[in-house]
Amino acid sequence: MKRIMIDYEKCDGCKNCSAACMQAHRKTEGTIYDLDLTDPENESRNFILKDQGGNYRPLFCRHCTEPECVKSCMSGALKKDPESGHVFYDENRCGSCFMCVMNCPFGVLKPDRVTKSKVIKCDFCVNAGGEPSCVSSCPKKAIFVEEVQE
């Protein structure tokens, strides 16, 4: 499967990846130049965390081999696609229980900020075609897509 690889030592915390993710998933038309960063509906699916030493630690969904989020999903909204290996989320099926948020050991998932009824989850930009937006936007090549064996 294709996975977003992380060379975290190259990350300088610019958060272009987060802005690109917000842009890729915005509901309104437009470009990154008119993306409203303060609109709570615009949320990023990736996060640049810091450890206690102040080092940047990029947090991106791994689309795990045995995804804990899928195991915990009681509605069938989260499924691992047998072909691509990616874990996809169907918000129409979601029961908004958020057991997936609790069960992701890396803390990648979160409820949406506005309605608290959906899960904010990486979709590998499948609808945008080609490379995930975060990867195309990284100026340091700290994230890149690679084919990995599961």
- What's the min distance (Å) between Cβ of 85 and another protein? 12
Contacts of 49 (CB under 8 A, 6+ apart): 56, 57, 58, 59
Report the amino acid identity of residue 72: S
Q: Binder to another protein among 5, 36, 84, 130 (CB under 8 A)? A: 5
Q: Which of 26, 32, 39, 79 is the binder for another protein (CB under 8 A)? A: 79
Nearest-angstrom CA–CA distance, 82 and 87: 9
- Contact with another protein (CB under 8 A) among 17, 21, 87, 104: 104
User: For the CA atoms of 91, 95, 98, 103, what is the dihedral angle to 10 degrees?
Assistant: -90
Interface region with another protein, contact rule CB under 8 A, candidates 18-26, 30-38, 89-97, 130-138? 89-97
Selected binder of another protein within 14, 35, 101, 128 (CB under 8 A): 101
Place of tokens 């998933």: 25
126 near another protein, judged by CB under 8 A: no
Q: Phi then psi for 125, rounded to 5 degrees?
A: 50, 40
Is 57 a binding residue for another protein by CB under 8 A? The answer is yes
Helix (H) or strand (E) holding 50: strand 47-50
> Using the rule CB under 8 A, which residue among 27, 29, 31, 52 binds another protein?
52
SS3 state at 144: strand
Point out which residues bind another protein (CB under 8 A).
3-6, 8, 47, 49-52, 55, 57, 59, 62, 64-65, 68, 71-76, 79, 93, 95-99, 101-111, 115-117, 146, 148-150
